[in-house]
Every structure is written in structure tokens, then in C-alpha cells.
Chain A
Amino acid sequence: MSAEQATSVSKGVFAFKGKCKRVNEDDYVCDSKDRGRKARMTLYREIWEDLHTQIEILRSDLNCQIFDDLIAFVSGCHRHRDSPGDRSAQLLGEIPAAVLVTGVNTPDHDVMFANLESMLKSQVSPLVARVGAQDNCRISALLSDIVAQLMNVTLTSEEREDDEHDAGDLLPGEKSTAVSSSPIKLKVAPVRKRALNLTTLVKWYKKKFGAGSPCKSRSAPCSPRKRLKLEETGEANAEQLKATTNGSGVDKKPLVIIVFEDVENVNPAVFQDFISLCCSYLPSLPIVLILGIATAVTAIHQILPSAITSLLCMERFQAPPASRYLSHLMDKIVMVPDVAVKLGPKVFHFLLDTFLYHDFSILNFITAFQFCMSEHFLSNPLSVLCCGGEEVDYVTSQLSQAQLEDLRKLASFKSFVESCPPNVQSKLWSDNAVTRKYLSSALTELHQHHANLFPALRFLHCLSSALPKHPLGKQFRELYSLCLTTDVCESDSYKQAVTFLRLMSLDDLSKALAAACQALEEPSQSNEHLRPLFEEVERFVYRLGHLDEEEEQEEEKDMQQDANGVPLERILPQRTKLHELKEKLQSMSSKRRKSPYEKLREEILESLQSHLRRLITCPLTLPLHEALYFNDLAAVKEQLKAAPRCSTQRALTLPGRYLNCACCHGNEHSILPSMPDICIVYKLHLECGTLVNLYDWLQAFVTIITAAGDKGGKSKKKPQKPSTELRARFIRAVSELQFLGFIKSTRRKTDHVTRLTW
């Protein structure tokens, strides 16, 4: 659009800044065909808001422990600084450094460090600087970055009242950059970027928090929580504060905390310089370093020589492994009855595989889950029924005529109708009231099933997780995925697990049963379907604990049975073959008198199995499950699992599908002259070996192109020389192919190129 508008004598490329177009969501959502989309979108938003807060809470919970430790360490640093007696600590000149081993799930680190930063700011000291990996390749840049961060932060926190309306609506992350670029900031601190070095920082720090100006240090930024913390840290701290000469109510000087997010990727030379500099400024600045490491502490030694590490006083903190994080998340989000949207087996497996096999990233997992949700609401009209168990009646009663009509057109509704009793079937097609009623009852049933299913699965998991070879999986998610794909009670692994359970010793069984019983206790309070199971298990646990009482009763019965037992000799015929004898003996041994424990065990397992069979069935067999379950793997894969090479190759082999034109339709191997040049060239080069002769290639290309021209006339004369146009087209196609990375030039043979793909 730009070239014609610009009037200029000289030739050139002109950049026109386009307007930033915001996508109007109504254009997307309000499709003429699908009227319910808007309603579903609001539904999606509500559910996602809910989930999002849950996820946030989960996140802060999980890192809570390690952050608490870290903060305790950091606030404990430099405690003896001001006390005059401890000369050694001062002279030793070690920078306290917390090494935070974060694990390799790199995409998540950003969130983690953002949390850490805000926690440090609120609880320890307002002076926190965060350094990413890539931005600093020179020591001066690194220093000015850190100093700018430190000085700006306190500026905003001190003059928050003034700045509130200026920078109030900016995000906290943007604040520092926004403030530093605004003219207001320049007026306050006339320090140019060039002059931002540690000396400036020292001066500034002295001025702000120095002992010489008590009035200023009293107004030093200090959140009430920090003051609380200071009080908590005990008498030692308080005494020390009093001991300082002018310490009447003067707060402790805030620490200077510098967080390196990814030490492995920091330029080692710069990092070494930085540490030795920090060390030389340690007497005037209470610096604490926090070093984030993805792999292991040994990485530090790969980066730093011993002269530098001897300046550090490190303490290690290990973040919990990502897989634990995942199971935590899945327990709360994916595998609970409360969250209405569920993942179907295929999508569930896909997300899980992506996490475990590829990236270990919780962030990606959550995003993928969110995508699945939005896709579910966007593409499935039935998802209008997706809601919590309590709202089912309301939602179904709110369905409009049009929505019901839409629903009736769906395939899943048809199968739903077929599952209903025959006398209502016809009504379902016409009578709205009946339809609503039946929809509501079906959905309630689905929710009820979920409420039963999950506790029952957990119960089974408790029992089976300790079995040898883990037939039902170590993790709950394995059992759940089995449940989604098949009927658990019919599966082989379930049978195997039961066999193992039959062989369990008294101690193990009673322990496992007690644990399982505990898992069942809470949900069974409100759910009458679970209660019989719970009560029965409780009884069994009791009986296992008091086995000897049972023994006495049993013995009496046994005495009677023994009386009419048959002596051994009678069973055995006089002459038998060996294998017959073997069989006989085996059958006898199985008939052998069982101990009371074995009997009880048998009874327990029979009872449990009947209960589990009742409670655990695959939810995907229930009618209308499509409302809750999202199982469209193709859609997710297309969006989330990028396979650039595959799609490029497919585009080149089957251009018709992409261009949507009739003339290019052919199968994978056919080469049509109507195809784009690059496709022809690509298909031709597939027939060659490692090295492709350019001239032969050109000839083949020309043959195909010209074959189209003289289809009618059978002029078999050899083309003398390809025309300039054809050559140009060929060269262009070849260079396009090179650009895509399929070939490259080689020096091994003249007029040849190398193939790069197979």
C-alpha cells in the first residue's frame, strides 16, 4: 500500500507505520452459523477466571517453602555488620550468596523470579535488582542496569504518593522503565546513564540511609511486614540495634539484593568482574547475591575460578522438581470433580507427554490447558451446558429455543436421544420442556458420576500404588488416564493388581487399607454413593486390627468342617499318572484350609471389587459427556505442536491442498506442470542422491513444463535450449528451495548442490 502513496524521485524502500489493529472479538465470535458463541465465551471467561486464581494460589504455595528459607537466609545476612566487635566477619569480605537451583524448566523461571522479587521487596528490602541472562555482555552495561534498577525502585517507593497518579496504571514491571524515560524522573535524579556505576550507588545509599542523617533513615522505605520480621528475628537483633551508637529508633539499613536469574548464560568474564567489584564495595554496601542455576551447583565452578568463588559465601536452595509441581497441579485442576471442563483421553495424554517428554514447563502446560478450554467452548456448541454441578438446572432452564434447535442438530444429541427411553424419544425432538428436563438429568448424572469417580479412583490408587511392579501406575495420573481410555475394572492391569493384593501380608494390607480409608473419609461425608464403601472399609480395617477375636469364631466352624473332611488316601486312586497326580495335588492345596486372615482378605477383596465396579466406569461411555470432555486432539496438535519441516514438506508435495485450486490436485508422487515451480523442483530433487546436478535438474524441469505446452502436438524434437524465462524460473525456484533449507551449494563438484534432507 505504501509504494504508490509515497511520491519521491529517488527509488527506495519506505516504511509506513501501520495502525495497530485490535482484533474485534465480535468478528470472531459472532458467527452467523453459530449463535451461541457469545454466551459460551462469557461462560469460558468465568470458568477461566476461577481456574486462574486457583492456579496462582497453587503456585505461590508450592514455592512457599523454599522462598521462606531463602528469605530467612537473606534477611540473616550482614546481621553482624554494624556490631563493632566482630572484626573477622568484616575483614573476611565474603559476599553472602544464595544459590537457587531451579531445575531445567526454563520457561517457568520468569514467573518464579518475579514472585521472588516481589516477596523480597515486601519482606526484606526494597533494594532489589533483577538481572536476566542475555542483556548484559559488558560490565558497564550490567552495572548501569543494576544501579538504575536499585535507585529507581526506592525513588518510586519513597515518592509513591506523588507518583501514584503518574505511574499508577502501569504494570509493576513496566514502572521502572516508564519512570526512567519520563521527564519527571530526570528532574528528580539528574544522573545520566553513563554515570550509573557503583560509586554513584554508594554515594546515593550513604545519603539515603547513612547514619549521619537520622531523619532520613527514619523515613527510609520499610514496609510494616518487614518491621514485623525484624521484631520476630529476636532479641539479638534488637539488642544489636540498641548497641549502635545513634541507634535510638533508627532502622537497620536495607540490604542491597541482586538477583541473577540464569547464571549459566551470563557472560563468565563479566560475572567474575562483577563479583570482584561487589567485593571491593562490600564495606559500604550490604550486598546479597541470589544466583539462579538451572542444572547443579557445579555449574558455578565451571564459570568462576577459585579466586572469585572464594569471595562468595554460598548457600544452596533446591527448588522442588517439576514433576512434583505437575502432579500437584493436576490434582487440583485436571483431576477433580469441581472443574467442569475435562480433558478427554487423547488430549490428556498429549499434554502429559508434552510435559514429561519435552519441556517440563508448567507454564506451557497451563497455557495448553487454557487453549483446550477455549477451543472447547469455541468449537463445541454443546459446551454451553458445561457448568458446575449446582448450576445445571439453571443453565438448562435458560436455554433459548434457538439454542435448543442448535443442540438437536448435533450428533452427540442424537446418541443421547437413543439412550433415552423410547416413549420420550419423539418428545425430545419437539418438546422443549421435556428436552430441558432430560438434559438436566443427564448432566446431573454426569456430575454425580464424577463425584463418585474421583474419590473411588484415589481409593484404588492408595491401595495399588505400593504394589510391586506398579500395575496401576505410581502416579495417580496414570490410573486416571487408564480410566479415561478403558473400563478400569475390566483391564488386565487391574486384574494383575488384584492378584497382587490377594498376596499381601496382613501388615501391608491393613496399612494400605487404613491409608485408603483416610483418603475416602472426606468426600464420603457429603456423597451417599461413597458412604457404603467407606463404612465397609472402616469395618474391615477394624477387623484386620482385631484378627484374633475372629480367629476364635473361625476355629469353631473349622472344627465342624474338619469332621466331614475326607482323608487323603481316599481321594487318590490306586494307580495314577504323574500329571494327574500333580493336578490333583494342586487342586487339593487350593482347597487347603485357609487361615482366618486369608479368609478375611478374600472377603475384603470381593467386597471392594464389587464396590469399585459400581463406582468406577469410564465417563466417556455416559451420554452427553461431550459437553464436558474436550477430546479434539487434531485441533490441539495443529496449534501446539509445531512441526515446521513436516508442514513445509507437505505443502511442497501437496500444493493443491494449500492453494485450494483444482489444477494442482494430484497425489503425492505425481508431478503436474500446473503446480508451482518450487513444488516441481522439490519433487524432482527428491529423486536424486546426495549431490544434485543442476543441469540435469534444469532439463527435467523444462521437460515437465513444456510437456504441458505441447500436449496436443506430438512434436518429439528435443528442446534446443531452454528459454531465458524458463531458466530464470528454475533458478528462482532453486534459490527458494535453498532458502527453505533443502539444498545448499557445495564445493565438492562443480555445477552441483547438496541435498540436506531425506
Chain B
Amino acid sequence: MSEERMNEERMTGDRMLGDGIARQELNLMFIIDNSGSMAGEKLGAVNNAIRDVMSIMPEVQEDTSDAEIRISALQFSDSAKWVYSEPKSVSDFKWKDLSPEGGTNLSAAYSELGKWLSKKSNGGQMPDIGGVAPILILMTDGLPTSPDWETRLNELKKKGWFRVALKYALAVGINSDEAMDVLNKFTGNPETVLKVYTAEALRKAIQVIAVTASKVKSNSSSKGTGAGGAVVNNNEVAVAEVAGKLEEVDDIEW
């Protein structure tokens, strides 16, 4: 007998009274620069990394009944576009390789992200009830070609969902201070801006950040002396765990 069939026969009546617990949504978002300069191994590493992440995510999801992980991806070049029109569950999110094209319109990406980071009842994609602070991972290899990116970022910062999010930025082969400044402004925390120098380091960084942060934010116990309470800032715990795991990876620099 198939597992599904067997499950159907179990507690038939009971399942008519609802078949699962209400979970809080945890949104994981990839914001990917697919401009022409990302062509070759950089974008190849991104495509590979997200596939790796998706092969590990079912285990992360299966370990917790508290959070339901939702994944979205925004690609930006001359314009910005969501890979799916809504965040997808771990089982429904299928990765399609991105191809390089055009410039680096970060302004368009920030505008799209801003629209996404509103409650569904306000036209966005965030849950109306019970959502935890999202995880945003931005990856880019150069300066934005859109001059008004900072105005758009300031608009984005007005969004509560953006303010509470755990924000990472991966600087792919970037050396200029000016370009680093753009990313520091996005995360608001230099600790979560990582310089990656090789495709392998990029792949590893994406994987570790996405998986570790999702794990910590969906499923972890608080530790401590108890003084001051047991509420912990999960973003800080995740940052510490990610840092620990990336410590030994070559070609990554904080």
C-alpha cells in the first residue's frame, strides 16, 4: 500500500476536522544581480548554489512545525522581475537557471522588493497573520547603473518587514569602496556584508547563509543564564552561526 493511501485510511474522520497546525511564515528571499557582468562562473555559481539550497531545505522544513518556509527570488538587470509571482513553499519552489543580460538597475530591485514586503491585504506578499522576520540575501558584482538607488532604499527602509529582516549582501569580486558602501547601506550592518572572490566561495556562502539562517529562525532553543529573559534576537544568533560556518571557507572576507 502506498504511504499516501495508508495515511488516507488513518484517522479518516479526524482529518475532516483539519489536517495540520497553523504555522508562521518565514520568508527567504534571494535578490540576484543577473546583469551582463555576472555572466559565466558567477551566475553559474548562483544557479548551482540555489539548487543545493533547495536540496537541503526539505530537511530544514521537516524539523519544525513552528514555521513554514516560503522562498522567493528577484532577478535584476535592466529591470527587476520576480521568478515566481508569489513566495513558494519548499516543495513548490523549482529553480530555473538565470541568464545574464543588461545593466544593474538596483533601483528597480528595491522598488519591487518594497512592493513585495507588504501584507497580502495591502497588495504585497507578506502574510496578514503570523509572519516572522524574513531573510534577504542580495548578491551583486558591481555598482548600480541606476542613479536613484539610494532614494529607493530609503523608501524600502520605511517598510517594517525590511527593518526587521535579517539582511545579507554578497559582494562578488568587488573591490571598490564605493560599491561596498552600496551594500553596507542595504544591510545596515557591515558584519553581514561578505566579499567573495571565487565562484566556489559564492556558492558556499549562499548555501550556508540560506540554510543556517532558515534553521536558526525556524527552529532553535534559547540558551543563556535566564537573566533578562529568554527572548533572543534570532537574527543575531543566525549571524553568529553563519560566521562560525564560513570561518574556514577561503576567499570570503568580512
Q: Are A and B physically bound partners?
A: no
On B, residues with C-beta under 8 Å from A are none
On A, residues with C-beta under 8 Å from B are none
